[in-house]
Amino acid sequence: MINHEGEQYNTRMAIQYSKVGKKTLEERAYEIADRMISSRSDNCDIREELKKAILTGYNLHQEGFDDE
């Protein structure tokens, strides 16, 4: 937690990397998403998996979060 101008903020930092010549994180994410969509089994909670994906990889300063 940090304190800035009298306000307290929770913080989260992540570093993502991939080896040159290997699949990018975006390519891997599409593969996982495609598998989840195609499986549509009762064992796969899409909402929960999307939440995990957002928390681990989405830049919270972009698209739709600025207005909330």
Examine the pLDDT at 62 and tell me if it is beyond 60.
Answer: no
Domain residues for 53? 2-57
Q: Is residue 62 assigned to a domain?
A: no
Number of domains in the chain: 1
Q: Is residue 33 assigned to a domain?
A: yes
pLDDT (0 to 100) of residue 66:
43
Mean pLDDT of the chain, nearest integer = 74
Give the confidence band of 10 by pLDDT, cuts at 50, 70, 90. Answer: confident
The model scores a pTM over 0.95: no
User: Does residue 68 or residue 58 have the better pLDDT?
Assistant: 58
- Name, in order, each residue with C-beta under 8 angstroms of 57's C-beta and a sequence gap of 6 or more: 14, 16, 25, 29
Identify any residues that bridge with 33 across adjacent strands, giving them in sequence order.
none
Task: Give percent of the chain above pLDDT 70.
Answer: 71
Q: What is the token pair recorded at 28?
A: 């891997």
Q: Is residue 52 assigned to a domain?
A: yes
